[in-house]
Structure 1
Amino acid sequence: MLIKSIFTNSSGILVSRVLGFIRDLLTASILGANIYSDIFFVAFKLPNLFRRIFAEGAFTQAFIPSYAKSKNKIRFSSMVFLELFFFLIILSLVVTLFSTLVTKVVAFGFDEATIKLASPLVAINFYYLPLIFCVTFIAALLQYKNHFATTAFSTALLNIAMIIALLISKNMDKYEITFYLSYGVIVGGFLQVAVHLMTMKKHNLCKIFTFRKHKKKDENRFYKSFFAATVGSSTAHISAFLDTWLASFLVSGSISYLYYANRVFQLPLALFAIATSTALFPMIAKAIKNKDENKALHLMKKSSLILFVLLFVATLIGTVFNKEIIWLLFERGAFTSTDTQNTALVLVMYLLGLVPFGLAKIFSLWLYANEKQFLAAKISMKALGANIVFSLLLIIPYEAAGLAFASTLSGFILLYLTLKEFGFKKVKTLYFM
């Protein structure tokens, strides 16, 4: 079951990432690495940050254990959905009204003219967030039923929508292309919701709404775990967001170098680490619920060993062939050989953190399954604090590459602290005895 689930997730992620690279290839060729690509990536960064935190971490890690323990699953799930969905709709409207202010916060280094260009794009892209929450909510219910395929493959729809937007607008003004891309993001979000609703109906999960009065004990426990898990699962993504914010102070194109390099870095991380943790977590949560700790530990040992080998090999390949990878994927059209060299260096700095970030994701599942979200959050905050310090120290001498390496260093700290809480004695017993 575990291997099958991992394979399903990996296959879906691979399809999605291949289409994502085609999208990035077209984006690099049509927009290049300049002010227009920078403003789109800034606009897409904020909802994408929340998407990764929701879809690949906090919501699922808090929801599944609470859902498993809830005695009134339909009432619990319906109220959680309604409360969070309407909150995100209101938040999206606020971002629309104050898009200029939000853009200044997201890209503090931009001048007034650039902020004026970026703010409408920020407002449009943010509406992807309530859509992806709907997807994540349904995905969590499907994962509890051991169905992973729909969620794994559905991200491809976002990439397809953005690819079509690029092809339609490729001969237009570059600023106009960024609007087409932004609306492509929204269309992709609606498509993802649609396929999840169809799968939900197929699995008899549509009866999630109820308006009967009930005690909010389950919801309160969920929200406490959710807010802590939001911090705990977001270290890598906030680090990437921090890179973008600091890179706005560097030369034009720096944000794009970080974006393209991080996209390559995210492929093995998603293909192996995220696919494994997504399949593993419901199994661990159920084993912990049933007080079968030995089964949970066996699953973790098996998964982590496989993951270590895969990520280590990916790191070696990416480091040795960094320039060739960037050249093959992006160097065409407006993306120059200088852009390739700069992006390749940033890629190596990110890849050095691939193993620690991946393994930290696996071992943090133990904390989440035992509902120790606050402890995981504390660990992540320490790692994030280290990332901020390293970024400030390295940005001046090494620019974009320094920001990427600061993220890597924080990954090692995250892994060390996670293993410490998991228990070094337990690690020794698990792997060496």
Structure 2
Amino acid sequence: MSSHHPLRSVLKIGSNTMLSRLLGFARDVILARLFGAGVIADAFFVAFRIPNLFRRLFGEGAFSQSFVPVLGEYRATRSVEETRAFVADVAGWLTLTLAVVTIVGILGASAVVYAIAPGFADSPDKFHLTVELLRITFPYLFFISLVALAGGVLNTYGRFTVPAFTPVFLNLSIIAAAVFWAPHLQQPAIAVAWGVFIGGVLQLLFQLPALRQVGHLRWPRLRRRDPGVGKVLRLMGPAAFGASVAQINLFLNTILASLVGANVVSYLYYSDRLVEFPLGVFGVALGTVVLPLLSRQAAERSPQFPKTLDWALRLTWLIGLPATVGLLILAQPLLISLFRYGAYTAEDAWQSTLSLIGYGLGILPIIAARVLAPAFYAHQNTRTPVRFGMISVAVNMGISLILAWPLQQLGLAIATSCAALVNAFLLWRRLRRDGLYQPQPGWPMLLLKSAGLAMVIGMVLLLLRGNTALWLSLSLWERLLRVLSLTLLAATLYLAGAWWLGIHELRDWYRQRPPRA
């Protein structure tokens, strides 16, 4: 790996993403106070999730996995003007597709809600509110997918900061709508839905100046003469499924959640928001950096390819393991500290804790899959991740059907984590078989030291955590201060312990050097 260590880019993206996630927590605290975990919350969360699923299909997940490798190839082998024409052509076809899907989604909102949350049909008020909200939020798909196009271009050119900061505008828009507009409406969820719509527009506008700087702010065109366009379209179909496995599993859970019990959709949403913090701050940042890096190395047939993949997997383990332990132990304190206000009750916090524990078990395999799948996409192989994604979805559905009714949200969350583990294992095994990945020396000692250290940190957190009654008796600021103190203590002990145990990977990354062989 080069002297310019990619960890710098991961940290840059992660810091901006952390700001967005913190605002996201503020957003969810406000929504919890406003909606709680009842009918209105269920309706809004489903209406918000549906365009996010299609965003994965048409936007950041599938599009990045298919578009970025081809764009990287163009940058390396074609002229500047050919590369700009290619981007404009892809933008044209993506815009047309998004426009059609958005119109169909708005007109067919009732059918979409019935397909995604069939249990809502038993409550006409909840069903009709969800449909009304979806017609407002669905155009978010159009804007955020174009944001993904811009982000893919900027990431390919090494401009990671703007795409990482962009989600801040969505959270600010929703917060503003919930605080300043919602109190004046008979149905406050309408205001929040419009906040989603406006947030999508703001995110797209924020990207445009950065696109101009890299020379790609051009009007979309509808041409298919460029072979690169056809290649992206061919790759994007399988990539849409492969990149969306986690979202598809989540939506299968949403369907079952609407059937197995009241408020289960809301319990899953609040717990998923906490799991998305480490996945978003670290998992997304690492995947964003790894894809263009591996794409370039694959195009150059560089011997650094397996070393880069090994570096990313070590970083996944060393960050994902303590994050998993901390989240599992502090699950209920975190939910109480962030959401136990207004309409969100202590019982809601306990029920959300169950699903958070189930989701937390999947942190490591989900991040690992976000590192392993780009190794295939870098070689423009989207079919293999799709096959494994289909197996993962089948595993999720099978376990969900077994556990959903007896365990409700806990069973659904466990099914999601099991599916993620199967997906990550299959990707890892295939890369080993194809010779694209070879573990570098030092893994056994790394696993032993880090696992022992994580156990110690877990015991310290258990001793200092306190019981539920204590957390419920504290004020907002006392809760937040206590959570922050425990988190900082655990992080400090982990880093100090890693230094003392001689986990060289952390030392080398701190000094911005490639990992030792």
TM normalised by structure 2 equals 0.80
In the TM superposition, 1:59-74 aligns within 5 A as 59-70=63-74, 71=78, 72-74=82-84
Q: Deviations over 1:247-294 (max 9, x none)?
A: 1113321100000000101110111111101011111101111111x2
8 A contact 2:29–2:339 mirrored in 1: yes
For 2:98, give the aligned amino acid. Answer: L
Report if aligned partners of 1:357, 1:411 keep a CA contact under 8 Å in 2.
Answer: yes
Match of 1:397 among 406, 409, 412: 406
Alpha-carbon distance, 1:54 to partner: 4.9
SS in 1 for 2:183: coil
Of 166, 172, 196, which residue of structure 1 is paired with 2:207? 196
- What is the aligned partner in structure 2 of residue 206 from structure 1? 217
Aligned residues: 430
Distance 1:429 1:355, change over 3 A: closer
> What percent identity do the matched residue pairs reach?
27
- Opposite residue 37 of structure 1, the aligned amino acid is A
Deviation at 1:430, TM superposition (A): 2.9
Q: Distance in 2 between matches of 1:404 and 1:332?
A: 24
Residue identity matched to 1:362:
V
**Structure 2 residue corresponding to 1:336, chosen from 342, 345, 353:** 345
User: Residue 149 in 1 paired to residue 196 in 2?
Assistant: no
With over 3 angstroms needed to count, the CA separation of the structure-2 counterparts of 1:378 and 1:334, relative to structure 1, is: same
- Which residue of the partner structure matches residue 372 of structure 1? 381
Give the CA deviation at 1:168. 1.5
- What is the distance in 1 between the residues matched to 2:91 and 2:216? 13
Is 1:244 the counterpart of 2:254 in the alignment?
yes
**Residue 430 of structure 1 aligns to a residue in which SS?**
coil
Q: CA deviation at 1:91?
A: 1.5
Gaps of 5+ in 1: none
| Aligned match of 1:139 | 151
1:338 maps to amino acid: E
Question: In the alignment, is the contact (CA less than 8 A) between 2:297 and 2:305 conserved in 1?
Answer: yes
The one of the two structures with greater contact order (alpha-carbon pairs below 8 A, sep at least 6) is: 1
CA shift, 1:204, in A, is: 2.4
| C-alpha contact 2:170 2:202 (8 A) present in aligned 1 | yes
> CA separation of 1:335/1:191 partners in 2, compared to 1, >3 Å: closer, same or farther?
same
Q: Which of 273, 289, 298 is residue 279 of structure 1 equivalent to? A: 289
Distance 1:11 1:205 in 2: 26
Q: How does 1:357-368 map to 2 (within 5 A)?
A: 357-368=366-377
AA at the equivalent of 1:355: L
After TM superposition, the score normalised by the length of structure 1 is 0.95
**2:356 corresponds to:** 347
Gaps of 5+ in 2: 443-516
Are positions 1:422 and 2:422 aligned together? no
1:129 aligns with: 141
Q: Which residue of 2 aligns with 1:93?
A: 103
Structure 1 residues 262 and 184, CA, compared in 2 at 3 Å: closer, same or farther? same
CA distance in 2, matches of 1:146, 1:233: 22
1:164 aligns with 2:168: no
Deviations 1:371-420 (A, max 9, x none): 11011111111111110111111101101110000001101100111011
Bigger Rg over Cα? 2
Distance in 1, Cα, partners of 2:275 & 2:172: 21
Q: How much does 1:239 deviate?
A: 1.0
Matched residue SS, 2:259: coil
Alpha-carbon distance in structure 2 between the residues aligned to 1:88 and 1:209: 13
1:4 aligns with 2:8: yes
User: Which residue number in structure 2 is paired with residue 270 of structure 1?
Assistant: 280
**One-letter amino acid of the structure 1 residue matched with residue 27 of structure 2:** R
Secondary structure at the aligned position of 2:380 is classed as: coil
Structure 2 residue 187 is matched with structure 1 residue 183: no
- Over residues 40-75 of structure 1, what are the superposed CA-to-partner deviations in whole Å (9 max), with x where a residue is unaligned? 001001111233455542111100111223443222
Q: Distance in 2 between matches of 1:210 and 1:299?
A: 36
What displacement does 1:217 show?
2.3
CA distance in 1, matches of 2:432, 2:323: 27
Report the aligned-residue RMSD: 1.7
Task: Give the drift of 1:214.
Answer: 6.2
Cα separation, 2, equivalents of 1:320 and 1:36: 30
- Tell me the distance in 1 between the aligned counterparts of 2:187 and 2:319: 41
Q: What is the DSSP-based 3-state SS (H/G/I as helix, E as strand, rest coil) of the residue aligned with 2:167?
A: helix
